[in-house]
Structure 1
Amino acid sequence: MTVRVRFAPSPTGMFHVGGARSALQNWIYAKQQGGVFVLRIEDTDAARNKPEWTEGILSALDWIGISRGSYEGPYFQSENAGEHRAAATRLYESGRAYYCDCTREDVQARTGSQYQGYDGYHRDRGLGPGPGHALRFRTPDEGTTVVVDLIRGEPTFENKLIEDFVIARGDGSPVFLLANVVDDMTMGITHVIRAEEHLPNTPKQQLLWDALGVKPPIWAHVPVVVNEKRQKLSKRRDKVALEAYRDEGYLAGAMRNYLMLLGWAPSGDREIVPWSVIEDEFRLEEVNPSPAFFDEKKLRAFNGEYIRALPVAEFVDACQPWLTGTGTIAPPPWQPDEFDADAFAAVAPLAQTRIAVLSEIVPNVDFLFLATPLIDEAAWTKTMKDGSGELLDDAVAAFEVLESWDAESLKSTLEAVGAERGLKLGKTQAPVRVAVTGRTVGLPLFESLEVLGRDRTLTRMRAARLRLP
């Protein structure tokens, strides 16, 4: 039997990091088993679906390494509507489903406010199809439904506690439960690897598989992803869009690595590992069913490690979207003709050790490409104390006559300027840094001054001096 797994997102918004994790788990499992990964776009919610969301799904999958052309699909659920309706008809004609015209208010009035489900009122009343008649599945009165789950064992559900659920609406359109089952049957899906939130629907879907005469797939419900308060990640409350992390400058490799650790870990006392190790070692059976904490701080630390591991040339290439404002990245504060590729290449190794996401490259190097630095007024107020003006005067005078404009000479010269005032280097260089870069923190100062050059450095220091008494 060829293993066939599927990833079936809905194009109704940005690509959720939890969905990205499920996609990767399906992808790896299919690869390990020599199977097939199927992409199915569940687009039957026409009111909420947008073509750009579908393209967003495909682009996000590309980014995390599930590239177009390497999987089967994408298929679109809406294209299988005929099969959905045919399955509903078969279930009705075989007596496994019946029509019901009860409204929600009808059920409420008949059963009372505490009743949590439909009471089977129309089971044996012989109502036929018609406008406003929903089709309900006839759940067995006795016995249990056992779900074979690679992660959770064999959850068992009493059939008598499962209401006669709707499988087609009053307008004849099948609901998600039935459409999902029919699609999986049509596509020959053997394993369904998906989020834990779908587990309550699984016994209903398994009953549908049985009623349609097809062996159900093997299930694997991966743990829910939660925030620091142990609440399920929410689009309204949490930062969950994969595209947002991509555009902030997280590397695909770091994101892949981190997502795979949500509920699973490689062997040994390690977390940052090559993707080939994850592909070899990942086992669905080893996934922890407990909720998985999405720790953005930890992801950020991961990303910093991945950035530092890049060869410098690759780091320079990776920064280009933020330096040029390409694609979905906002343009930098400088004009295109102000950017100096050689200057950036000179400071790139310094910046690479100091940033955790690629978007941080802009505030670290903007002083190199702007005619005047962007002054952080809070930093100015904090740094430019009494005596800062005179210190800048002395530093300008010393830098003007400096024979060699290099980092070591700049450092020793400013150190001497500070020593004459009884100041250590840290106190001495702070006003110079703010005058030249506009900030109190950033790349190593003297290497930055070397790249910036004598004329621009002195011009900025003199301009800063004019602002001081």
Structure 2
Amino acid sequence: MSKVVTRFAPSPTGLMHVGGLRTALYNYLFAKSQKGKFNLRIDDTDRSRYLETAEDDILNNFKLFGLKHDNHLFRQSENIDTYQKFALELVENNKAYHCFCSTERLAKMRDEQRQRKQAPLYDRLCYKLPKEEVNKRLSQKESNVIRMYIPEAETIEFNDLIRGQVSFRTKEIDDQVLLKSDGFPTYHLANVIDDYKMGVTHVLRGEEWLSSTPKHILLYEYFGWRPPIFAHLPLLLNPDKSKLSKRVGDVAVTNYLERGYVPDALLNFVLLLGWNPGTDQEIFSLKEMIKIFDISKIHKAGAVFDLAKLDWMNGQYLRSMPFKKFKDLTEEIINQKYPSHKLDHNQVEAVLKLEQDRIEKLAEVGDDVGFFFTDDLVYKKSLLNWKKNKPSQTKEYLTELLNFIKALPAAKFKADKLEMAIKEFISNHSFGTGDVLWPMRVALTGLDKSPGPFEVAAILGRKKTLYRIEKAINMLWPTPR
């Protein structure tokens, strides 16, 4: 068996889509799992939509996700002469022809076909032109395109690695434009020529290209080349089963990274969009992906892009991340959100350790712990009362707690020792746990949901802890009669 060669060939017309990331990953994994070669090609022949920033985005993402290509980067725009040569070769062999039809005529033709409820296929007006007339119009530099000739009344069949045996009737296939009037090739011509010249053995691409495959197989036949093996990946779907489109929502890879998803988690997530290892394992490193990837386990059905699952998976990666790396990724976010905070380095580090166990996205860091970075807590004093406790009772519990904490030695002001000491204090006074810990939490954070009060107190330190509890007591006094 020949060495497996795959490729990822994006068009730089916009930011890289998560579907594109999945296609790149599957091509990479299949090649590497077979000890083959993975190529990157920039399909930049659509010059009207070309964006230099889009190409930069593709290359940056490849570096970020660790998808190393084995070839020298290839751009189709650097190979125009070759495409033109092959297009003219097809014309000479009667497998393609010059078309001089104006855009107005083509639009009118398709409109009339729609009214007659016919498929919008080119009517081959120019295919019927005498050779002399064609040569004359070419000599006069008349604008034209080159169309491939689709044979009539044939069936094109191929075996798709994911979908099995697939067939198309040629009478339903349009005479595809291969070379545009500006001399640039369309995707169909350039893609076939480049895949052949790069030695591509397997083409893994999105399902949307399935209907184009018979055209590509015909082109391989016209050139006398052996076609690659095709595998068309399932669509990515929204939760409502509509297609996940570039034109709907923030589906660019960059957008997910900016929202706080880490590259390893996003790559792991797209791996499972249409592929399953057949086990309960869900978290994979790139090396593990290469080891276990089996193309036969790609599904036919569309894969739902479940954002809640991505959130969960990202959280798993954040929690397993070495703290130093987590700190490096999040410390600047904290400083940007709270530029005037007065916490020292050790306090910020302690806050981040709490956050690492709680957040699901990097961008969330600091959102729920703003109470660490300001002393101006705003909350309703009624929040201080545990269940049906009256303000006078809450004031009594907090006052006793305040006096107890004042008497604690400095060595006790660590989370574990605070917890032990305060729970013993509660037990000795026959207080209910919630009677004390609930108002303590609210006094320190202004929230009903937060990290534990002992961890919070330890980070705030004795002075701020006492200040906030005393402030809460003052909010409860005088109590209404």
State which of 361, 366, 377 in structure 2 corresponds to 1:357: 361
Q: CA RMSD in A?
A: 3.0
Distance 1:131 1:456 in 2: 83
Distance 2:314 2:363 in 1: 12
Q: Contact 1:324–1:336 at 8 Å: present in 2 too? A: no
Determine if the alignment matches structure 1 residue 16 to structure 2 residue 22.
no
Change (3 A) 1:381 1:84: farther
Q: Contact 2:26–2:271 at 8 Å: present in 1 too? A: yes
Give how far 1:304 is off: 2.2
Give how far 1:408 is off: 4.7
Letter in 2 for 1:258: F
Determine if the alignment matches structure 1 residue 87 to structure 2 residue 86.
yes
Q: Contact 2:119–2:172 at 8 Å: present in 1 too? A: no
1:298-345 residue CA offsets vs partner (Å, 9 max, x unmatched) = 1222222233333xxx133224232214xxxx9632238845432344
Q: TM-score, normalised by structure 2?
A: 0.85
Structure 1: state its 5+ residue gaps. none
State which of 299, 318, 327 in structure 1 corresponds to 2:326: 318
Q: Contact 1:436–1:457 at 8 Å: present in 2 too? A: yes
* Equivalent position of 1:248 in the other structure: 259
Higher mean Cα deviation, 17-26 or 404-413? 404-413
Letter in 2 for 1:145: I
**Which of 1 and 2 has greater Rg?**
2
Q: Contact 2:381–2:475 at 8 Å: present in 1 too? A: no
Change (3 A) 1:442 1:167: same
State which of 341, 345, 349 in structure 2 corresponds to 1:341: 345
Change (3 A) 1:139 1:408: closer
Letter in 2 for 1:383: L
Q: Contact 1:4–1:190 at 8 Å: present in 2 too? A: yes
Higher mean Cα deviation, 245-254 or 153-162? 245-254
Letter in 2 for 1:359: A
Higher mean Cα deviation, 222-231 or 298-307? 298-307
SS in 1 for 2:275: coil
Determine if the alignment matches structure 1 residue 122 to structure 2 residue 91.
no
Map 1:120-269 to 2 at 5 A.
120-126=124-130, 128=134, 129=138, 130-269=141-280
* Equivalent position of 1:396 in the other structure: 402
Determine if the alignment matches structure 1 residue 372 to structure 2 residue 375.
yes
Distance 1:283 1:390 in 2: 66
Give how far 1:214 is off: 1.8
SS in 2 for 1:234: coil
Give how far 1:273 is off: 4.0
Distance 1:434 1:18 in 2: 45
Change (3 A) 1:139 1:382: farther
1:111-144 residue CA offsets vs partner (Å, 9 max, x unmatched) = 4522222222322123524433232111011322
* Equivalent position of 2:451 in the other structure: 443
Q: Contact 1:7–1:38 at 8 Å: present in 2 too? A: yes
SS in 2 for 1:399: helix
* Equivalent position of 1:45 in the other structure: 46
Structure 2: state its 5+ residue gaps. none
State which of 96, 100, 106 in structure 2 corresponds to 1:104: 106
Q: Contact 1:364–1:443 at 8 Å: present in 2 too? A: no
Distance 2:194 2:382 in 1: 64
Q: Contact 1:319–1:358 at 8 Å: present in 2 too? A: no
* Equivalent position of 1:299 in the other structure: 310
State which of 283, 291, 300 in structure 2 corresponds to 1:272: 283
Letter in 1 for 2:118: Y
* Equivalent position of 1:332 in the other structure: 336
1:433-452 residue CA offsets vs partner (Å, 9 max, x unmatched) = 33323433232220221122
1:67-86 residue CA offsets vs partner (Å, 9 max, x unmatched) = 4xx53233222112222222
SS in 2 for 1:148: strand
Give how far 1:233 is off: 0.8
Give how far 1:31 is off: 1.1
Q: Contact 1:11–1:41 at 8 Å: present in 2 too? A: yes
Letter in 2 for 1:50: L
Q: Contact 1:258–1:299 at 8 Å: present in 2 too? A: yes
Give how far 1:418 is off: 7.1
Letter in 1 for 2:77: S
Letter in 1 for 2:97: Y
Q: TM-score, normalised by structure 1?
A: 0.86
Distance 2:76 2:439 in 1: 63
Distance 2:382 2:55 in 1: 49
Give how far 1:414 is off: 5.4
Q: Contact 1:383–1:430 at 8 Å: present in 2 too? A: no
